Amino acid sequence: MSLSQQQDRQHCFHPFSNYHQLNRDGARVIVKGEGIYVYDEQGNKILDAMAGLWCVNLGYSAKPLIEAAQKQFNTLPYYNLFFQTTHSPAAKLAAKLAEITPAKLNHVFFTGSGSECNDTVLRTVRHYWACLGQPQKQIVISRDNAYHGSTMAGASLGGMKPMHAQGGLPIPGIVHIPQPYHFGEGQGVDVEMFGQQRAQLLEQKILELGVENVAAFIAEPIQGAGGVIIPPDSYWPEIQRICDHYGILLIVDEVICGFGRTGEWFASQTYAITPDLMCLAKGITSGYLPLGAVMVSDRIAQVLQEHDDEFTHGFTYSGHPVACAVALATIEEMEKNHLVEKVRNDIAPYLAQKWLALAEHPLVGEARIKGMMAAIELVENKATLKRYNKTKAAGTLCRNICVSNGLIMRAVGDTMIIAPPLIISKAEVDELIQLAWQCLDQTYAQLTSRTNI
């Protein structure tokens, strides 16, 4: 065991980890990143098909980001935005975000993370309705199996049952409706019909709660951590119609989908959504520094600006100058290289063609992809789409086989997912796909030999 592993085992508690297993096996130590690869302490080169945690969109070697950070460190390494103060990196980034996000989103509240964005939107929508003289209008409707972060509000807005089970969540005033997960919950129903039905559950919930009590609906355009759940095309138009009809606020959590992942700057453009609030983080700095941003629409901004009292909310690192400088450099780099267009017209279609062919593997019940996020469903029986018994932990097995073959794919139950850096080349896509086939073969061999015992 290396020194890092020893120190880690003795002192470091990890996010989303089983501490019993971690203590027994020790942690993998990553020492270096280069392009779309990371290297561990043993010198293994691993193709990072998850871009870290869906964030390292420009890969691990983006020099302009590093230089922007160095420059800002030398000028003003820290100042805050409290008490009527600002600085140029925050002001410039706010203006830039207003320019590239959909038309009505012209105001920004900076945070340090995606979770803090979701805490911020919860307080913002409740404050908004209170300012309008409707303080009882405070319930936020979300969805089962959504992921909105891990703070008290983030985890409550999220719909992950195992998270709710720890710490007495969700907090009051947050309710969940079923997700538009066709493979998992809509077998036998026409896909577009299913999308409509799932969207209409929002309407039912609003009527059940009383529209006078409902502040907002929140959703990821495509659920990420839930397993790259791509909604049917019928879903978002119906959600938009319902939000508009009842006048409730629409919060779109683009922490993963933003910054080119779906082939547009924002998935709100991909799905023609008009959000009132939009949460951004992760790809905003390509993961190089922690930063989040809540985009606020003119409708909300106007009400908050007319209200002559303090919004009692904010973080020490809201608009951190170095993080903002790196975000500006990230956006500049993407614009300079026409990265979003490249994703849309070139690399995402290329990845799609290769990824969808994985559906032919005997272990795969469905392959799906939108832009640069994709999933395959592992099944025991391809004809009936029956899943493996949970005790087989097929997804975990596949994930471990991937890592030992030099590929990072993530397992969500028996759904294998990827979200590679947007700068991935075609040759690297070929390598990713070849590794995926190889790992599926090995997983299949192990699962079927175990079945035969």
By CB under 6 A, name the binding residues for ligand PLP.
Answer: 113-115, 118, 147-149, 220, 224-225, 253, 255-256, 281
Residue 178: asked if its preceding bond is cis (omega within 30°), the reply is no
Residue 196 CB coordination number (10 Å): 16
**Angle between the N-to-C axes of helices 235-246 and 191-209, in degrees from 0 to 180, rounded to the nearest 10:** 20
- Residue with smaller CB distance to ligand PLP, 69 or 222: 222
Residue of minimal Cβ distance to ligand PLP: 114
Nearest to 19 by CA among 122, 225, 166, 136: 166
Residue of 313, 327, 299 whose CA lies nearest to 106: 299
Contact partners, residue 79, CB within 8 Å, separation at least 6: 85, 87, 321
| Distance in Å, CB of 313 to ligand PLP, minimum | 16
Q: Which is nearer to ligand PLP, 226 or 365 (CB)?
A: 226
Report the run of H or E that residue 323 belongs to, with start and end: helix 321-336
> Smallest distance from the beta carbon of 318 to ligand PLP, in angstroms?
14
Q: How far is residue 430's CA from residue 210's CA, in Å, rounded to a whole number?
A: 52
C-alpha dist (Å) from residue 89 to 117, 225, 300: 19, 31, 24
DSSP 102: -
Tokens encoding 68 = 């922007």
Residue 199 to residue 83: CA distance in whole angstroms: 42
| Positions of E strands within 36-100 | 37-40, 45-48
Q: What span, in angstroms and rounded, lies between the C-alpha atoms of 85 and 148? A: 29
129 vs 147, which CB is nearer to ligand PLP?
Answer: 147
What's the min distance (Å) between Cβ of 412 and ligand PLP? 12
Least separation, in Å, of the C-beta of 256 and ligand PLP? 4
